[in-house]
Structure 1
Amino acid sequence: MPTLDLTLSAADLTRAICDIPSVSDDERVLADAIDEAVRALAHLEVHRDGDTIVARTQLGRAQRVVIAGHIDTVPVNGNVPTRDVEIDGEPFIWGRGTVDMKGGTAVQLRLAAELADPVVDITWIWYDHEEVEASKSGLTRLAATRPDLFAGDLAILGEPSNGEVEGGCNGTLRVVARTRGRRSHSARAWMGENAIHAAAPILARLAAYEPREIVVDGLAYREGLNAVRISGGVAGNVIPDLCEVEVNFRFAPSRSGEQAVAHVREVLEGFDVEVTDLAEGARPGLDAPIAQDFVRAVGATPRPKYGWTDVARFSALGVPAVNYGPGDPSLAHHDEERVSVAQIEDVERGLRAWLTAG
């Protein structure tokens, strides 16, 4: 079984944990390696739930910070094992998971091992099943079994943010809009009603839709409403009687999930619309003094997070949360996924400085 040496550099740890198989549903080996490594640290109290590992300091500090990262990846596509590459003279680590989000996870593991006497108490969480439906997520399970482990004055998710602080996140909503018709032989199309043709107004409305940019607590979030999948048809000689258009709405955290659903129903008025997935967004949370101290300590200029991340889970529990990790988010899940070694080192340096008041 693979083991992890937490005295390695964060870059070397990134290589090591990326090379341990950990596609969603296959995280057990990596979870075991993390569990074994952190249980050897006398300054941490360790709790395990499935393939989620929680390690906490219990120093009686006035404030507690939760620092979390997921350990699973999307499926590989010939991009493991990792390898070192150089781009414009800058070293990168190439491979699945380097951006999303093993670089951030490696920084967390190294600091968890090193920081036995931080200025705040820390709850480290490494969790499974982030890249699949929320019902499988280790955080969903942990919230049900041990909600006390989420307690904190600030949460930091190591999601890729180019080494900058990204506050909050957009919400995400998926619906299926359906049109129905009547089957007939395509040689006698007048005998039927074509459900795919009937979906044309849905696509026209979406193509004409002008998304908003909304400022929330000083950060400008961009919304988006798009068709992401369309299906219909029975055979090459049959007029289809059903067409389904899947629509994804990324909405600013100023909207509630209920408001987002109402907006999409308004845009698609007159059509059969079924909500299939909904995750609330999260406000930036940067007005909390501890969050402001963190931003100053790492020398970052806060930006909005356009995608959904688990900061929303903490925000819903009243814990302000931000994203802070190495890696370009646009390369997450990409076949050329790669993380800058310099960004890994910068994030490690920033977190250490804040957690030690150094």
Structure 2
Amino acid sequence: MSSAPLLSDSALLERLAAFDTTSRLSNIPFVDFVSDYLDRPGIRLERMRSPDGTKANLIARAGADRDDGEGLTLSGHMDVVPADEPDWGSPPFTLTRLGETYVARGAADMKGFLALAINRLAGLEPARLRRPLALLLTYDEEIGTLGARRFAEGDSSARRLPRDVIVGEPTSLRVVRLHKGMIRLQLTFHGRAAHSGYPHLGRNAIEPAARAIDALAGLRARMEAERPPHGEHFPEVPYAALNVGVVTGGSAVNVIPDRCTIQVGIRLLPGMKAEAMTERVREVVAGAVPGESFELASLGESPAMMLDESAVLHRELCGLVGQRGTESVAFATDAGWLQTVGLRCAIFGPGSIEVAHRPNEFIPIAEFLRGGELLDDIVRRRCLAG
């Protein structure tokens, strides 16, 4: 069992921020630290390794598992985006106080919430629990919600968590019940390489790809005029947004290119099916390049999420912060995959997404501390009250 003293929320955030958990790196040192910190009487720990063994989800529970799913799960991702920008005013993996903010990579997205969630579990007296409290910490959210997908598709025994889940992405402590999903597709066109002085010996792969890009632009425009269900909850972009994001092809101007790839991202609304949208892309591209063969592959999926407005978790959190009505975000989170296994998710955490993924990322200290107070309240209601 751990002999580590319970740190303050700010001190724990400082320790967490010091780990470089950029998605390209292993998160095992971070998982080891959190596991050691949580290795206390009454807390059960479980790791779920990535297929290559270099990453892991961490599941921590206190209190007896219940068949009725009562209790509460707090969830967040451990990875962060790179901090390679030259504009940092302080070392990105050193928590620095600047005025009334804490600055570090991941301070908002989302090690601030992780510190609060971990301490809520570490500071509990398990014997006082009437219903269980659990943590689900995931890997590689930033590069496609990979850890959450691994959890959702893994051993069902690992998924016996309390059904109501707070996913602590930065929402400035607003309660979010819907978000868009995202699919990532890659089109590949093949040609035949040749010297550009002898074009009759080759076949240019970029030319059909260019026609495909033009057709995708037309599809994007048509989709912008559509109003699918639930679009009213995303007033700025009430449609599925398509982006041709990466095009790769050719090696030199005197070589006819034999390969060209196009990567496409599409932000789906709740209720839209990835398979149907993928088939729509296939049909549009096939119509633009008759007679040309191409490959269409999925590079990843992060499902959309929607929690019913009348759900107890939504109403309870809205009551705590005095919020009325529905709020949504256009980015995807782990909640999309968690929802697929019957978990009821709300997005709720300190910090702003507007400062995430940027140099000098920060979290307001007052908001961080208020987040801890609100989690104390919801844990007390959900797990300790009679």
- The interval holding the TM-score normalised by the smaller chain is 0.7 to 0.9
Give the conservation status (yes or no) of the 8 Å contact 1:173–1:278. Answer: yes
What is the RMSD computed on CA atoms of the aligned residues?
Answer: 3.0
Label 1:19 to 1:178 Cα distance change in 2 as closer, same or farther (>3 A). same
Cα distance per residue 1:198-223 (max 9 Å; x no partner): 32233323334233564539733552
237, 251, 265: which is aligned to 1:248? 265
Give the conservation status (yes or no) of the 8 Å contact 1:223–1:251. Answer: yes
Q: Which residue number corresponds to residue 74 of structure 1? A: 81
1:234 and 2:248 correspond: no
Q: Which residue number corresponds to residue 116 of structure 2? A: 107
Give the conservation status (yes or no) of the 8 Å contact 1:182–1:194. Answer: yes
Distance 2:145 2:7 in 1: 33
77, 81, 98: which is aligned to 1:85? 98
1:290 and 2:313 correspond: yes
333, 344, 347: which is aligned to 2:357? 333
Q: Say which is worse superposed, 270-279 or 189-198, in terms of deviation.
A: 189-198
Q: Which residue number corresponds to residue 33 of structure 2? A: 33
Give the conservation status (yes or no) of the 8 Å contact 1:4–1:33. Answer: no
Alignment gaps of 5+ in structure 2: 50-55, 85-90
Distance 2:171 2:228 in 1: 20
Q: Alignment partner of 2:314: what SS?
A: helix
1:268 and 2:285 correspond: yes
The structural deviation recorded for 1:56 is: 2.0
TM-score when scaled to structure 2?
0.79
Q: Alignment partner of 1:326: what SS?
A: coil
Q: Which residue number corresponds to residue 94 of structure 1? A: 103
Distance 2:168 2:140 in 1: 15
Give the conservation status (yes or no) of the 8 Å contact 2:184–2:266. Answer: yes
Q: Which residue number corresponds to residue 321 of structure 1? A: 345
Cα distance per residue 1:307-353 (max 9 Å; x no partner): 22111122111221121112222333323322222221232222222
The structural deviation recorded for 1:64 is: 1.9
- Give the partner amino acid of 2:37: A
Label 1:351 to 1:299 Cα distance change in 2 as closer, same or farther (>3 A). farther
1:123 and 2:134 correspond: yes
Label 1:335 to 1:123 Cα distance change in 2 as closer, same or farther (>3 A). same
The structural deviation recorded for 1:231 is: 0.7
Label 1:17 to 1:207 Cα distance change in 2 as closer, same or farther (>3 A). same
Distance 1:351 1:155 in 2: 12
Label 1:263 to 1:120 Cα distance change in 2 as closer, same or farther (>3 A). farther
1:280 and 2:303 correspond: yes
- Give the partner amino acid of 1:124: L
Distance 1:104 1:214 in 2: 33
- Give the partner amino acid of 1:97: G
Alignment gaps of 5+ in structure 1: none
195, 205, 210: which is aligned to 1:185? 195
Distance 2:139 2:302 in 1: 18
Q: Say which is worse superposed, 180-189 or 328-337, in terms of deviation.
A: 180-189
Distance 1:319 1:172 in 2: 19
Q: Which residue number corresponds to residue 53 of structure 1? A: 58
Give the conservation status (yes or no) of the 8 Å contact 2:167–2:347. Answer: yes
Counterparts of 1:4-23 in structure 2, within 5 Å, are: 5-8=5-8, 10-23=9-22
Distance 1:180 1:48 in 2: 42
Label 1:184 to 1:144 Cα distance change in 2 as closer, same or farther (>3 A). closer
TM-score when scaled to structure 1?
0.84
Label 1:183 to 1:305 Cα distance change in 2 as closer, same or farther (>3 A). same
- Percent identity between matched residues is 22
Give the conservation status (yes or no) of the 8 Å contact 2:302–2:334. Answer: no
The structural deviation recorded for 1:105 is: 0.3
